[in-house]
Chains A and B, each alone.
Chain A
Amino acid sequence: MAMITFSENHNDFKFMAFEEGRSLASVKNPQEEALKWVYSLGAFPANHVVIIGLGSGYHISALVDLEPGIKVTVVDSRESLVPVFRAQFPELKDKVNILMASNVKDLMSSQLYHEIIEDRAFVISFRESWGQQIPLFSEFFAHLTGRTVESVKYHLAEIGINIKALFVPPQIGSRQLWSIKDVLPVVEASVISEDKKQMFRVLGELVK
């Protein structure tokens, strides 16, 4: 696990988080950086937003500030960030859920993960806060959006397709995200109601 350290920000006297000596937010103006990031996201298409990367927490504060009605969940693997975040942003206590997972197995076995999937949550990343965790957080991203083999199986079970083995198309390597196009042949070959198949056919037309 990489070393997490904190240093005081002279603008607002809050602590900035560093991983292996690299800041997890802009050192010069973290508030402005966070606001720009939130504005760049546009309107959210879901009521539940998942942010991958806790970092120094400025981006989470900015998002809750600008989108007060949205349910926010933060996923991270660095537990030492949590107490500092809670201490610095006490007003977010009831507004932000934090899911700590050190690997994909932990992530998928948590109750919060199932909520995220059921809500079809919108998953966003504040890449500056990822630090050294890029490979792990990329995996988290794929699982949280339902775009890995395991999560696709989970989703298909949810709509009544129970498969033990999923044919992985050759173009889908382990690092690529699944898309609806990859799911369509599986749905077509499955024994589910014609109505559900028709819905996937509509989606298939939309991605042509």
Chain B
Amino acid sequence: MRILVVSLLRLGDIVQQEPLLRGLRGKYPNAKIDILINNQFSSVEKILSGTVDRFICFNRDLLQRGLGESEFNILWSYSQLDTLVSELNANNYNMIYNFTHTKLSAYLIGTLKADEKFGLHHEGGQFRGLNNLWLKYFNDHFSGNRKSLFHYVELLSNSFSIDIDSPEINQSMMVSRKNRQILFQCLTSDEKKNWGLRKFVQLKKMIEECLGDYDVKILCAPFERQRLGTVFGEKNLFVSDLHEAHQHLRESALLVTGDTSIKHMGAQIGIPIIEIVLGSSDSQKTGAYSKNSVLIQSQVPCAPCTHSQDCSQNSHLCADDISVEDVFALVWDQLSGEVKKRRMQSRDFERVVWSTYLNQTNLDDEIAMPFTIDEKCSDLLSELETQTKELLSFFHRAERALPARAHFIEKAVLHSNEVAELILVGQDILRSKVDVYGYFDVFMDAMTGRFSHPIQLFDNVCGALGKIKGLIAIRTKLIDQINTKKSKKSKEGLYYASEFGNASVIGFEENRRGAMQFDEGSDATSTNSSTCGTTLPEQLQHQSGDVENIV
């Protein structure tokens, strides 16, 4: 069997795909796997060795030169592309996976022959692959400013049913705790994502004064040498290419970094990471995907800002908001291996709702809850119940505001006043800011999308309402399920407490560790009873751990 993975993204994204490639290898152990990457990132071959059989280069720069410079024949790039397509088709691929999810990659896959194509591709004049709900979620929530509940790697893993959590895949994630070297990756590709060299100097000094055992080194690319050398001194620099940086990471105890491809490499190795999230970085979508990563992020209102635009503020607010002491505290925690206590958050709940929907889980069965429940979840639960009521109320309003189908069939042209009530509902949803996780995004898309006949608007809105109804049903059922478990646990606690005479329920809670480990659906370790009692499986834990450390 031959498989082609199309990954025409930037360096960090390709490095980030490593668990997916390993998962694909695990899924098809006997297949020959090729990967198509942009030629400017061909150096990634050295650090992804063993995951795929062959790296094939897509010479994007040269193709663009051929299209943009008048010295080239107008069809020069066409000929080059034609040659590449012929070479790829000669390999007779059985399957093609699109890890890129761009129109370019979709069209390119459209030119290729394969028995099966996974991911976005263009065929028969239209884009295909979006009937996969996970991929649709990726499509709708990943680009632009919409929030995503899931990480890029998680979304692709679910879209393509690639297991990224198997022990074989995590085998590579082993770093010796005896390492006594801390690495800083101070510069990113975007100035507004930089924390500031002055702060890194202070942090280095603080670490070396307080943690005498540790030596701080600065990772830098050859072109950054002069800039960093004048600040840190030449002897403190590790001037490295990608492969050498990989080696340095393996020999280190901790990486402090901004949003760089080095963080993805660190995640791949399993080294503890502190990620300083600034500017347009969106850690929920593309943070370091590792359980050993924590992040620190400013809460200034302008963050995260828009990608590819200069900082709009007079000073670098998000960087100024994160002090050297804040980062040092995380360095301390990471090196001591301290696991911070965390409370169940609404995001954990929303992830279960959405993954239940995206997996099309049968609602007659119990929804798997990857967290444990206790009485201290009450505040969060009541907040979730209130939100559900508000969402349900908007849903009913939208349902009532939608005119009958017959009304649309008769119309050749639709005036906005004929759907004014529906528009008002949309405006109210946006104004209320209750829909943080995009339950009504599909409704908004339907309302603002193009249509050639009014009936299409009706059908789109109907489809959107059906989806929203499904999501709210899951949400309601999950809340009921949590409530049932909570009351069951409460009674259980009282029963056991009675055995101890007048021992208080709160006093008993200190010894509830054993009981919590028997909680259904939870394979995670137990938590201290003074926390909310939410434990997440490994997959979720690292992300939620990130949230814990947000400043």
Contacts and interface: CB of A to CB of B under 8 A. Distances in A.
Interface residues of A, number: 33
Given A198-B107, A198-B122, A203 B81 contact: yes
Contacts of A152: 74
B121 to A, nearest CB: 10
Given A199-B81, A200-B78, A117 B71 contact: no
Contact of A145 (B62, B64, B71): B71
Interface in B61-87: 62-68, 70-79, 81-82, 85
B63 A206 contact: yes
A141 B64 CA distance: 20
Interface centre among A147, A159, A198, A205 (most CB of B within 10 A): A198
B67 A207 contact: yes
B457 to A, nearest CB: 27
B104 interface: yes
Contacts of B73: 46, 117, 120-123, 145-146
B111 interface: yes
A203 B110 CA distance: 13
B124 interface: yes
Interface string B171-207: 0000000000000000000000000000000000000
A10 B386 CA distance: 94
B107 A45 contact: no
B122 A201 contact: yes
A63 B184 CA distance: 47
B351 interface: no
Secondary structure type dominating chain B contacts: helix
Contacts of A203: 63, 67, 77-78, 81
Given A45-B65, A207-B67, A201 B74 contact: no
Closest 5 CB pairs of A and B: A205-B104, A146-B74, A201-B107, A198-B110, A120-B73
Contact of B64 (A147, A183, A207): A207
A14 interface: no
Interface in A188-208: 194-195, 198-203, 205-207
Given A120-B79, A180-B67, A198-B107, A45 B74 contact: no
Contacts of A117: 73
A200 to B, nearest CB: 7
B67 A179 contact: yes
Interface in A132-167: 141, 145-147, 151-152, 155, 158-159
Contacts of B75: 120, 146, 155, 158-159
B524 interface: no
Given A201-B122, A207-B68, A179 B74 contact: yes
A145 B75 CA distance: 9
Given A46-B73, A158-B75, A206-B104, 6 more contacts: A141-B70, A145-B73, A146-B75, A179-B67, A198-B108, A198-B111
B60 interface: yes
Contacts of A180: 67, 74, 77-78
B147 to A, nearest CB: 26
A14 B326 CA distance: 75
A121 B67 CA distance: 14
Nearest to A183: B74
B488 interface: no
B411 to A, nearest CB: 31
A124 interface: yes
Contact of B70 (A46, A145, A158, A205): A145
B76 A120 contact: yes
A122 B71 contact: yes
Contact of B74 (A124, A155, A205, A206): A155
27 contacts: A45-B62, A45-B66, A45-B72, A45-B76, A46-B73, A117-B73, A120-B72, A120-B79, A122-B73, A122-B76, A123-B71, A141-B70, A146-B74, A152-B74, A155-B75, A177-B70, A180-B78, A194-B125, A198-B108, A199-B82, A200-B78, A202-B107, A203-B77, A205-B102, A205-B104, A207-B67, A207-B68
